[in-house]
Amino acid sequence: MPHSDGLLWGAIADLSRFAALLTMAELGVADHLADGPLDTDELARRCGAHAPSLRRVLREAAGIGVVRSAGANGYDLTEMGTALRSDVPGSIRTSIRTLGEESFWYAMGNLPDTVRDGSSAFVTKYGNLYERLAANTEMGRMFDTHMATRAIPFTEGLIKRYDFAGVDSLVDVAGGRGHILAAVLHANLDMRGILFDLDRVTDLARELLAVEGLADRCEVVAGDFFASVPAGADAYLLAHILHNWDDGDAVRILRNVRRAMNPGGRVLLLESALPDDDAPHAGKDLDMRMLAIFNGGLERSREEYASLFQQADLELAEVIELDAGASLLEARAV
Ligand SMILES: C[S@@+](CC[C@H](N)C(=O)[O-])C[C@H]1O[C@@H](n2cnc3c(N)ncnc32)[C@H](O)[C@@H]1O
């Protein structure tokens, strides 16, 4: 059997593993196991599940390593499984629920149709993602939490590796609930921030920034980046924004940022810049989701980002590789 066959069967098995994790996340299994092992019948009763079915999911989950057998008919959470609890920092439960949500699942399952005619099967069935999130508060909250969780590894790198000297004011353009901006402000005590996003998320952002003790250093502004962005800041962070849009829309957003920024200002683009080789890369995985969910959304190479910058009178100045396949691309006004 060629070596690649193992990888291919592994990719197929990943579907079963994800479905088992999704079931655990939906049923809150890890939360029920937080205080110690439980007999499967008792666990099923607490989760509102069918015990024989849950037992099979737990057997698969033990193979993944998130639970382990405890006694004749019970299971206990492992250290890895703790990340599935709702109440731990960096909990992955909401990310799993978001990616397993009906429309996201549909998008990936219907990728062949998307590729056949080049238009997103997700958009055809469910419309634009951000309109869907605005109309469906629970899904919107899950998505925003997922964004905050997935940003943890590259936000740490951004703070440690980027030199924010000279940036007294920073606008986080489409910053979601303000997770990246909050971390940057905590690390740069003299900096002021503006969190800018659609009004579907700004009330929550205001609440969370206040909880972080940042209300006096951070303004929250609702708006549409295709119309304008808040003017007069030293730097504009766009984290995983342009990858949702085709080149024409991406340049429109960048031009609005270019128009708004202070003389000598900079654009900090956080994206997964694709390498020019055949190696696996987190950005290539993410690109499948962009292809599936958006009409025109895509991951780009640093040369492609440089070209977008050029069309908005900006110039790529520096690229810093961060964790989890993310890159920071800094641009300055031409
Ligand atoms: C992929 S999320 C990125 C969130 C955050 N920057 C991060 O990296 O975690 C995209 C964000 O763009 C916002 N957004 C979408 N369309 C927008 C628009 N027309 N104007 C302003 N924000 C928009 C969404 O509400 C969402 O918070």
Question: 239 pairs with which residues across the strands?
Answer: 270
Tokens for 112? 């062949």
- Cα of 295 to ligand 1 centre, how many Å? 16
Residues in the chain, pLDDT under 50: none
Structure confidence at residue 5 (pLDDT): 80
Choose the residue to mutate in 139, 142, 147 for probing ligand 1, maximizing ligand atoms within 8 Å of C-beta.
147
Residues 109 and 89: their CA atoms lie apart, in Å, by 31
Pocket residues: Cβ below 6 A from ligand 1: 130, 147, 151, 174-176, 180, 197-198, 201, 224-226, 239-241
CATH 1.10.10.10 applies to domain 3-84: yes
Radius of gyration of the chain (CA): 22
Strand, helix or coil at 86? Answer: coil
The dihedral region occupied by 10, where left means phi > 0, alpha psi between -120 and 50, and beta the remainder, is alpha
Minimum CA distance residue for ligand 1 atom 13? 174
Q: State the catalytic residue, choosing from 32, 179, 240, 243.
A: 243
Which string of b and e fits 113-126 if b means at least 16 CB within 10 Å? ebeeeeebbbbeeb
Out of 3.40.50.150, 3.30.420.10, 3.40.50.300, 3.40.50.720, select the CATH number for domain 146-333: 3.40.50.150
For ligand 1, the distance from its centroid to the CA atom of residue 252, given in whole angstroms, is 15
Domain residue limits, the chain: 3-84, 96-143, 146-333
pLDDT for 3 equals 57
CA–CA gap between residue 204 and residue 201 (Å, rounded): 6
Residue nearest ligand 1's atom 18 by CA: 224
Per-residue pLDDT at 28: 98
